[in-house]
Structure 1
Amino acid sequence: MKKALLIIDYSYDFVADDGRLTCGKPGQSIEDAIAAKFNDYIAAKLPVFIMMDLHHNDDYYHPETKLFPPHNIEGTHGRELYGKVKQVYALNEDNPLVIWIDKTRYSAFAGTNLHQLLAERHIQSIELTGVCTDICVFHTAVDGYNLGYDMTVDASAVQSFNSEGHRYALSHFKNTLGMTVHSES
Structure 2
Amino acid sequence: MKALISIDYTHDFIADKGALTTGQAGQLIESAMISLATSFIKQNDFVVFAIDAHNPEDKYHPENTLFPPHNIIGTKGQKLFGDLGKWYEIHKDSPQVYWMNKRHYSAFCGTDLDLRLRERHINEIHLSGVCTDICILHTAIDAYNLGYKIVIHQNAVASFDPIGHQWALNHFQKTLGATLI
Q: TM-score scaled by structure 1?
A: 0.97
Matched positions, count: 181
Residues 83-92 or 166-175, more deviating = 83-92
Counting only pairs closer than 5 Å after superposition, residues 94-109 of structure 1 correspond to structure 2 as 94-109=93-108
In structure 1, list runs of 5 or more residues that go unmatched. Answer: none
The whole-number CA distance in structure 2 between the counterparts of 1:105 and 1:19 is 19
Q: CA RMSD, aligned part only?
A: 0.6
The DSSP-based 3-state class of the residue aligned with 1:128 is strand
Counting only pairs closer than 5 Å after superposition, residues 56-67 of structure 1 correspond to structure 2 as 56-67=55-66
Task: Report the Cα offset of residue 175 of structure 1.
Answer: 0.4
Partner of 2:157: 158
Partner of 1:49: 48
Paired residue type of 1:52: I
Paired residue type of 2:135: C
Partner of 1:4: 3
Partner of 1:77: 76
Counting only pairs closer than 5 Å after superposition, residues 1-185 of structure 1 correspond to structure 2 as 2-182=1-181
- Measured against aligned partners, the alpha-carbon deviations of 1:31-61 in whole angstroms (never above 9, x if no partner) come to 0000110111111111100000000132221
Cα pair 2:52 2:103 within 8 Å, conserved: yes
Identity of aligned residues (%): 50
- Measured against aligned partners, the alpha-carbon deviations of 1:108-166 in whole angstroms (never above 9, x if no partner) come to 00000000000000000000000000000000000000000001011100000000000
The DSSP-based 3-state class of the residue aligned with 1:173 is helix
Runs of 4+ off more than 2 Å: none
- Measured against aligned partners, the alpha-carbon deviations of 1:53-96 in whole angstroms (never above 9, x if no partner) come to 00013222111111100000011000100111111101101101
In structure 2, list runs of 5 or more residues that go unmatched. Answer: none
Q: TM-score scaled by structure 2?
A: 0.99
Paired residue type of 1:97: Q
The whole-number CA distance in structure 2 between the counterparts of 1:101 and 1:28 is 22
Paired residue type of 1:58: E
